[in-house]
Structure 1
Amino acid sequence: MTPSDPQATTETRWLYSSLNRLLGAGVLFGHHDDTAYGVGWKFKDSSDVQKVTGNYPALYGWDLSGIELDSLWDINQIPFTLQTKLVREAYERGGVNTFCWHMNNPVTLKTSWDTSRILLKQLLPGGDHHEVYVTWLDRAAKYLGSLKGSAGESIPILFRPFHEFTGNWFWWGVDNSEPADLIALWRFTVDHLRKERNLHNLIMVYSAADFYSEDELLERYPGDEYVDVMGFDRYSFDTTSVYKVNMKQQLELLTEAAATHHKLACIAETGYQGIPQADWWTTTLLPILKQYQEKVSYLMIWRNNGPEHYYIPFPGHAAANDLQKLTDDSTVILQNRLTPLQIYGPRHSLHYGHF
Structure 2
Amino acid sequence: MLSFARAQYNLPADSLATNETRWLYGSMQRLSGAGIMFGHHDDTAYGVHFKLKDSSDVHNVTGAYPAVYGWDLSGIELDSLWDINQIPFKTQARLVREAYERGGINTFCWHMNNPVTLKTSWDTSGIYLKQLLPGGSHHEMYRTWLDRAAKYLSSLKGKDGEAIPILFRPFHELTGNWFWWGTDNATADDFVALWQFTVNYLRNNRKLHNLLMVYSTADYYSDWEMMGRYPGDEYVDVIGFDRYQLDTTAQYNYHMKRQLELLQQQADEHHKIASIAETGYQGIPDSTWWTKQLLPLLSTYNKISYLLIWRNNGPEHYYAPFPGQGTAEDFKQFYKSNNIIFNDRLTPLAVYGPQHLQRYNQKLVQKE
Q: State the TM-score bracket (shorter-chain normalisation).
A: over 0.9
Match in the other structure for 1:190: 199
Match in the other structure for 1:158: 167
The equivalences for 1:220-239 within 5 A come to 220-239=229-248
Within 2, Cα distance between the matches of 1:171 and 1:238? Answer: 26
Q: Give unpaired runs (5+ residues) of structure 1.
A: none
Measured after TM superposition, the shift of residue 30 of structure 1 is 0.3
Measured after TM superposition, the shift of residue 2 of structure 1 is 0.6
For residue 327 of structure 2, the aligned residue among 315, 319, 322 is: 319
1:310-334 Cα offsets, whole Å, 9 max, x none, are 0001101111011111111001000
Match in the other structure for 1:8: 17
For residue 351 of structure 1, the aligned residue among 359, 362, 368 is: 359
Aligned to 2:202, the other structure's residue is in SS state: helix
Measured after TM superposition, the shift of residue 351 of structure 1 is 2.3
Match in the other structure for 2:340: 332
Residues 35 and 45, structure 1, Cα contact 8 Å, conserved in 2:
yes
1:170 matches 2:179: yes
Measured after TM superposition, the shift of residue 25 of structure 1 is 1.1
The equivalences for 1:201-240 within 5 A come to 201-240=210-249
Match in the other structure for 2:117: 108
Residues 304 and 310, structure 1, Cα contact 8 Å, conserved in 2:
yes
Match in the other structure for 2:5: none
1:292 matches 2:306: no
1:121-161 Cα offsets, whole Å, 9 max, x none, are 00000000000100000100010011000000000000000
Within 2, Cα distance between the matches of 1:167 and 1:317? Answer: 32
Match in the other structure for 1:86: 95
Residues 31 and 303, structure 1, Cα contact 8 Å, conserved in 2:
yes
For residue 55 of structure 2, the aligned residue among 14, 28, 46 is: 46
Measured after TM superposition, the shift of residue 57 of structure 1 is 0.4
Q: Cα RMSD (Å) of the superposition? A: 0.8
Measured after TM superposition, the shift of residue 350 of structure 1 is 2.7
The equivalences for 1:7-46 within 5 A come to 7-46=16-55
Match in the other structure for 1:137: 146
Within 1, Cα distance between the matches of 2:96 and 2:11? Answer: 23
Match in the other structure for 2:6: none
Match in the other structure for 1:262: 271
Aligned to 1:38, the other structure's residue is in SS state: coil
Aligned to 2:359, the other structure's residue is in SS state: coil
Within 2, Cα distance between the matches of 1:174 and 1:321? Answer: 41
Within 2, Cα distance between the matches of 1:138 and 1:241? Answer: 45
Within 2, Cα distance between the matches of 1:350 and 1:286? Answer: 33
% of aligned pairs identical?
A: 69
Aligned to 2:82, the other structure's residue is in SS state: coil
Matched AA of 2:336:
D
- The farther-off stretch of 342-351 and 260-269 is 342-351
Within 2, Cα distance between the matches of 1:305 and 1:206? Answer: 26
Residues 150 and 351, structure 1, Cα contact 8 Å, conserved in 2:
no
1:258-314 Cα offsets, whole Å, 9 max, x none, are 100000000000000000111111111000000011x10000000000000000011
1:228-278 Cα offsets, whole Å, 9 max, x none, are 000000000111110011000000111101100000000000000000111
TM-score computed with the length of structure 2 as normaliser: 0.95
Measured after TM superposition, the shift of residue 24 of structure 1 is 1.1
1:304 matches 2:312: yes
Match in the other structure for 2:7: none
Measured after TM superposition, the shift of residue 347 of structure 1 is 1.1
Structure 1 runs of 4+ aligned residues shifted over 4 Å read none
Paired positions, count: 354
Q: Give unpaired runs (5+ residues) of structure 2.
A: 1-9
For residue 200 of structure 1, the aligned residue among 204, 209, 220 is: 209
Measured after TM superposition, the shift of residue 54 of structure 1 is 1.0
Matched AA of 1:243:
Y
1:23-51 Cα offsets, whole Å, 9 max, x none, are 11100000000000001101111100001
